[in-house]
Structure 1
Amino acid sequence: MKERFAAAVACVLLCASGARAVRLPANTGEPSGSPPILQRVDFEQRLGTQVPLDLPFRDETGRTVRLGDYFQGKPVVLTLSYYECPMLCTLVLNGLTSALRALRFDLGKEFVAINVSFNPRETPELAAAKKATYLKEYRRPGSEAGWHFLTGDEESIRRLTEAVGFQYAWDERNQQYAHATGLVVLTPGGQIARYFYGVEFSPRDLRFALIEAAQGKIGSPVDKLLLYCFHYDPSTGRYSALALNSIRIGGVLTVAALISFIVVMLRRERRAATNAPTWTPGGVTPRP
């Protein structure tokens, strides 16, 4: 009860202090004056869209799998990063790993993570090397069963990236892909639940997204109470304090505090009356 009370108070204080999320553009592409290739890059939100779970890929061992094999009653964190990317993809995976290490949830237990390379020329050997690197960074036993690094053919990659709104382009001059950065949280049934943009991800926001995607089947009562105080803003890809709900909780807490105070005072008065000495003709007699 104390833990819930503290969490609720924190919600109210956050709103009272005017806490706000940093606003990020929904379109992660470059301004119109940028090189033409960057104008073909975007990460468009398609919340609620069903991802095709029948798509064939190969896992890091070379085994043929279906995307749906990894949707077994747990929410999924999806990243789209190719393994020989010279910079951005590594930053995305580094940022995800940092956020995952801060979570109390464990990979493979409460949720699953999948990285899909959007370069059809890459091999399971590259995927295996990348997986080994990040499992070592994550440093939690048993996580190898919960983090999957996939490769696939052009058709499977195209269908997946189109479903999640991820647009990228091959830069012939620099011999690398131009692409956006971020990750997608999906429900256990494969619907798109949340987007997070950039290369650094808030552990708090990721935790909220996983709880929402799992429809409250993971997370503590305190998590769910805190989530009531925050609202996901699709235009920023972040959770911000929701003032109305916090005010409601604040009102409930105020009433509860007043009732508790009255109950305590009444009990003290009764105890004092019970222990008070009684008057008799022979003098004052203490109560036994």
Structure 2
Amino acid sequence: MGSRRFGVLAMVGVFFIAAGLSAQTSNQPLGSTAQTPPKYLKDAGLVERLNQPLPLTTSFVDETGKQVALASFFQKRPVALALVYFRCTMLCPQVLHGMADALKGVGFKPGKDYDVVVASIDPMDTPKDAVEAKKTFLAELGQPEAGGGVHFLTGSQESITALSQATGFHYVAVPGPDGKMDQFAHSSVIMFATPDGRMSEYLSGIDYPVRDVRLALVNASHLKIASAKDLFLLYCCNYVPTSGKYTVAVLRLLALAALVTLIAMATFFYFLGRKRGHTGIPV
């Protein structure tokens, strides 16, 4: 009886050992099914198209219901651009909140120094949806009087596709809680374009450092709204497209420090030489 029990336990042990070895040698690790993102999400990535011209002749509808060409927002100022959908209750509000919060701190005025263009990727969004989204954005921006420089747009699928392809902003429809394909998977990013409508920079995430947003606007403006401080920061920082962030340019800082040191040493020896000359000490 005891040997029979031992035999059963041994078989159970062998089974679990074999199962463990099978899991270790399998091409698909345990839990990989749950960890692997759905295949349809592969089409929802972001491809940075720096210097890519935007489709300025494409028509959209602004929050007042007026048909407008994209070119009407690209004239003399850089543009902070975001692609979202207005009936979104998850990621999009966070992107717009982060955008408004950062722009609030840059020290520039919408409509004077730059413009904001937020376009919906959902052709079912309406100007009424745009009005509500813009109202929330202006409140978070803390500049309710800046509505003339902030534009929330809706459009046809053709217009949306033209803009998303030019910016490299890819998205895909996904099912909502009710099973309807009325939601979208997409990247969280804000973008910047030059006054003549070319893509300049991308900042990823939902929390955008004020410094990075200010430098992105300055760069997009071709330095037309730059201060001396901005020029110094741009010299000391590099925009890294792969990360969508500004990083410190260490070599430039070292070169600047070396230059300052040389100037200080030259100044010291110059005044030291003059002092010796005045006291009659031979040099």
Aligned pairs for 1:179-194 (under 5 A) are: 179-194=186-201
**1:57-76 CA distances to partner (integer Å, 9 max, x unpaired)?**
11111111111101111111
What SS does structure 2 have at the residue aligned with 1:244?
A: helix
Question: TM-score w.r.t. structure 1 length?
Answer: 0.79
What SS does structure 2 have at the residue aligned with 1:42?
A: coil
Match of 1:231 among 225, 230, 238: 238
Q: What is the CA-CA distance between 1:265 and the residue it aligns to?
A: 5.2
Distance in 2 (alpha carbons) for counterparts of 1:121 and 1:50: 26
Aligned pairs for 1:53-202 (under 5 A) are: 53-140=56-143, 142-172=145-175, 173=179, 175-202=182-209
Match of 1:205 among 212, 221, 234: 212
Distance in 1 (alpha carbons) for counterparts of 2:274 and 2:77: 49
Decide whether aligned partners of structure 1 residues 36 and 220 sit closer, same or farther in structure 2, where only a CA change above 3 A counts: same
What SS does structure 1 have at the residue aligned with 2:68?
A: strand
Task: Tell me, yes or no, if the aligned pair for 1:170 and 1:177 is still in contact at 8 Å.
Answer: yes
Stretch of structure 1 that moved more, 195-204 or 154-163: 195-204
Q: Count residues in correspondence.
A: 243
Distance in 1 (alpha carbons) for counterparts of 2:233 and 2:271: 28
The reply on whether 1:246 has 2:249 as its aligned counterpart is no
Task: Tell me, yes or no, if the aligned pair for 1:74 and 1:111 is still in contact at 8 Å.
Answer: yes
Decide whether aligned partners of structure 1 residues 251 and 192 sit closer, same or farther in structure 2, where only a CA change above 3 A counts: same
Distance in 2 (alpha carbons) for counterparts of 1:151 and 1:96: 19
Distance in 1 (alpha carbons) for counterparts of 2:251 and 2:190: 29
- Give the aligned residue type for 2:115: V
Q: What is the CA-CA distance between 1:256 and the residue it aligns to?
A: 2.4
- What is the Cα-based RMSD across aligned positions, in Å? 2.1
Distance in 1 (alpha carbons) for counterparts of 2:212 and 2:276: 47
Distance in 2 (alpha carbons) for counterparts of 1:140 and 1:260: 49
What SS does structure 2 have at the residue aligned with 1:79?
A: strand
Q: Which has the higher helix share?
A: 2
Question: TM-score w.r.t. structure 2 length?
Answer: 0.80
Distance in 2 (alpha carbons) for counterparts of 1:72 and 1:219: 18
What SS does structure 2 have at the residue aligned with 1:169?
A: strand
The answer for unaligned runs of 5 or more in structure 1 is 1-30, 274-288
Distance in 2 (alpha carbons) for counterparts of 1:268 and 1:131: 67
Q: Partner of 2:6 in structure 1? A: none
What SS does structure 1 have at the residue aligned with 2:55?
A: coil
Distance in 1 (alpha carbons) for counterparts of 2:229 and 2:274: 30
Q: What is the CA-CA distance between 1:261 and the residue it aligns to?
A: 3.5
What SS does structure 2 have at the residue aligned with 1:43?
A: coil
More relative contact order, 1 or 2 (CA 8 Å, 6+ apart): 1
Distance in 2 (alpha carbons) for counterparts of 1:141 and 1:126: 18
Task: Tell me, yes or no, if the aligned pair for 1:108 and 1:142 is still in contact at 8 Å.
Answer: no
Q: Partner of 1:258 in structure 2? A: 265
Q: What is the CA-CA distance between 1:259 and the residue it aligns to?
A: 3.6
Q: Which has the larger radius of gyration?
A: 2
The answer for unaligned runs of 5 or more in structure 2 is 1-33
Distance in 2 (alpha carbons) for counterparts of 1:228 and 1:40: 36
Stretch of structure 1 that moved more, 82-91 or 217-226: 217-226
Q: What percentage of aligned pairs have identical amino acids? A: 36
**1:135-183 CA distances to partner (integer Å, 9 max, x unpaired)?**
1221236411111101111100000001111111111336411111101
